[in-house]
Amino acid sequence: MIVAIDGPAASGKSTVARGIAKRLGFDYLDTGAMYRALTWKVLKEKVDITSEKAIASLARSTSIEFEKDGDVDHKRVFVDGKDVSKEIRSPKISGAVSTVSKTPTVRRVMVKQQRTFARRRKVVVEGRDTGSVVFPEAEVKIYLTASPQERARRRHKEFLQKGHRVSMNALEREIVSRDQTDSTRGNSPLHRAPDAHLVDTTGRKVGQVVEEIISKYIEGG
């Protein structure tokens, strides 16, 4: 069984997906972390961030793996054997990941890896096109959303906890800009699949959202 959760940046996808996976005993795949990991390597190797061919070639030769870190709902991310879990959540990576992930060839390479991961598993997958493109056959599809102000507040708190000082206004502008980039790109744009259930997380606790999705859309069938 595949539960696909999509939505814009900072809408709560990762936290909610991990919560659902933990409750149901499913595996969890953060597709956004995969693109962040690739972006980390692109910047590290000083690859031309505008070169689709160069980035796709790098993606094919890059090993991205996940490893459980104590708690069953949390995984560390490794690129070619190096733990980059903290590095990929930095403002620098957040500002570049849309550019790296938007090209068709790069996405085809990454989608192939994502489908391989999910094969013959019970899994909760989250990203921006998991229900519409990567796993259109998913039994349950959820589209999470939240106001730009709420999403900026969450991202600001996350950065502060990790020691990054960033302006709240700058984060909101970046989020709105990223929404525009992700929703208007020609390949696999961010959008709600026709059969995805819309869930607004603005002002709501994670546990409430997790319980709603499980009771209404998974166990409630």
Q: pLDDT for 34-52, tens place per residue?
A: 999 999 999 999 999 999 9
pLDDT band at 184 (very low <50, low <70, confident <90, very high): confident
> What phi and psi values does residue 98 have, to the nearest 5 degrees?
-65, -40
**DSSP-based three-state secondary structure for 195:** coil
Segment 53-61 long-range contacts (CB within 8 Å, at least 24 positions apart): 53/105, 55/100, 55/103, 55/106, 56/103, 56/105, 56/106, 56/108, 56/109, 59/106, 59/109, 59/110, 60/109
pLDDT in tens, 135-150: 999 999 999 999 999 9
Mean pLDDT of all residues belonging to the chain: 91
Containing 198, the helix (H) or strand (E) segment is: strand 197-200
| pLDDT recorded at residue 82 | 96
CATH number of the domain at 95, please. Answer: 3.40.50.300
Both structure tokens of 207: 């546990």
Q: Above 80 in pLDDT, residue 221?
A: no
Q: Above 60 in pLDDT, residue 73?
A: no
Q: Which residue segment(s) compose the domain that 50 sits in?
A: 2-218
Q: Above 90 in pLDDT, residue 194?
A: yes
Would you tell me how many other CB atoms lie within 10 Å of the CB of residue 45?
11
Put simply, whether the predicted model's pTM sits higher than 0.95 gets the answer no
Number of domains in the chain: 1
Q: Above 90 in pLDDT, residue 100?
A: yes
Q: How far apart are the C-alpha atoms of 178 and 171, rounded to whole Å?
A: 10
